[in-house]
Amino acid sequence: MSISAPNAETEHLVAERYLKRMELNDAIGICNLAGFYREGTQGFPQNLDKAMELYNRAGELGHPRAYNNLGAIYMNGWGVEVDKKKAWYYLELAAMGGYVMARHNLGLMEQNKGNMDRALKHYMIAAKSGYKDSFENIKELYSIGHATKDEYTNVLRANQAYLDEIKSEQRDEAAAFDGYWEYY
């Protein structure tokens, strides 16, 4: 399947739609708009300052993914100096808001600092919510002796329970059509 670049008319319509969502204080729309500015897509110029302003606004409006994205920017130094304190701050806000990827990212930061017990706790929370990368990290920690057999077994069971809960014919069809949608 070939995907072509959107034409200018389509980009204009997308831009109008998201600018309208911003006027309405739609947190998800604002977060998506921030992503367009960060990447310079959908007819928006690349502007990291504007993206970060919009991510912060979306986070304040209750969208934890926006805070995760700010945390990732600071954690990875995407267009800014790496700032672990700011990264931690935003990732904690996102995790407290229930954003599972933020919990995983906190685990990565702990693991990089050598705090394997704390990393494992973050990974366990994320893996029990179905976050596949955290499950893989727990498996790795188990293989090198930083997770117990009971902890690994616990997360295996929790992960299977999660998969059983979300299983559906539509998800299976989507996964069969495109591996991106694979959830098992």
Calculated CA dihedral for residues 82, 85, 90, 96, nearest 10 degrees? 140
> What integer pLDDT is reported at residue 24 of this predicted model?
95
Q: Average of pLDDT values for 17-32?
A: 94
**pLDDT at residue 182 in the model:** 73
Domain boundaries, the chain: 1-81, 99-184
Give the per-residue pLDDT at 33: 96
* pLDDT, average across residues 110-120: 96
Q: How far apart are CA 65 and CA 147, in angstroms?
A: 28
Lowest mean pLDDT among 36-45, 76-85, 87-96, 154-163: 154-163
Give Cα separations from 102 to 1, 6, 88, 107, 133 (angstroms).
32, 31, 10, 9, 12
Q: What pLDDT is attached to residue 21? A: 92
Mean pLDDT across 14-25:
91
pLDDT given for residue 85 in this prediction: 97
pLDDT in tens, 72-110: 999 999 999 999 999 999 999 999 999 999 999 999 999
What pLDDT does 5 receive? 56
CA distance 18 to 183: 29
Q: Which whole number is the average pLDDT over 127-147? A: 93
Grade residue 8 by pLDDT with cuts at 50, 70 and 90.
low
**AA identity, residue 158:** A
pLDDT over 90 percentage in the chain? 72
